[in-house]
Amino acid sequence: MDLRQLKYFVQIVESGSLAKASRQLFIAQPALSQHIAKLEAEVGKPLLIRTAKGVTPTENGAALHHHARFILRQLDQALSIAKQEPGSVHGMVSVGLAATTVCAVGVPFMRRIREKYPGIVLNVVEGMSGHLAQMMRMGQLDLAILFSRDAVSDLPYEPLVQEELFVIIPEDSDLVPPRRVKLSCADTANLPLILPTGIHGLRRRIETEFEQRNLAMHVVAEIDSLSLLMTCVRDGMGATIKPMSAALVDGRMRARLRTLTFSDANMNRTNFLYSVASEQLSPAAAAVRGELRETIKHLVSSGEWEGVSLL
């Protein structure tokens, strides 16, 4: 087995077909098939299930894919470290952030890295927390901010901040009297709510709170796109329950929205910073982890990130 075979195998699994992988690798398909046949012969077990629609990994193939990705990533990092000039930090670092976190942290975080570490290429992946957790498990991310202590059970994490959840409505909405600044869960349940779908961790967090009170929410739409959801709220189609950072999805939107706290529920979520194990963390990733912490600390302390407290 050699690294070239592992690289080819990973590309085939992620492409979903030999034909697509051969195009992306610039290798003839028969030659690619021969490399995979040799790999399967060495392993002694089939690694791919071949169908008319493409290929999928067997159980053994999925295990090899997981570890092969990690090996190739570590090799890239080792080569990057070897090429560095003394005292400099270079390399690519992948960071997973939820959409609401990107709204609050994304631009100042990117700016900070570009100014302090021009040799680092920052790869920011935006996604739902469940998907980001899966990417962390597969070794596709160096760092991620997730919302559960057991999101990735075998990786280290640290609590960063606690976000309060608010009922968000348009500034001129008649859904809630103008002088109200708080709502009960019962009042909120009667509002026309626009929420993310059930696969979203935030939706499950909200549902748990209402179910404990035997309240059924009046959900009029389910949208996983943060920008679309908040635009619908801004245009008066309903209310939502989100952290304050959701109102930052558009710089002009915050002034056009009202945020109301809950009067009878402790509605919040904790943000945890996950990273690969310390011995696997590259110097570039370690630097980015420190800068992400400092960016968040500054944003919260200065009041730029509202509705959040440091932990």
Indicate whether 67 and 21 sit together in one domain: yes
Query: 89-112, pLDDT tens digit by residue?
Result: 788 899 999 999 999 999 999 999
Clarify whether residues 192 and 290 are in a common domain: no
71, 167: one domain? no
Q: What is the pLDDT of residues 134-187, one digit of tens each?
A: 889 888 899 999 999 989 988 999 999 999 999 999 999 999 998 899 999 999
Residue 278 and residue 138 share a domain: yes
pLDDT at 61: 87
- pTM equals 0.74
- Amino acid 81: pLDDT: 63
Residue 157 sits in the same domain as residue 274? yes
Dihedral pair phi/psi, residue 105, rounded to 5°: -115, -30
Predicted local confidence at residue 96, as pLDDT: 96
pLDDT score, position 36: 87
- 155/303 same-domain check: yes
CATH code of the domain containing 244: 3.40.190.10
Q: What is the dihedral of CA 240, 246, 252, 255, to 10 degrees?
A: 60
The residue ranges of the chain whose pLDDT is under 50 are none
Q: Which amino acid, 149?
A: R
Number of compact structural domains in the chain: 3
Same domain, 92 and 157: yes
- Residue 244's identity, in one-letter code, is M
The predicted pLDDT at position 216 comes to 95
Range of the domain at 76: 3-80
Cα–Cα distance between 39 and 29 in angstroms, integer? 15
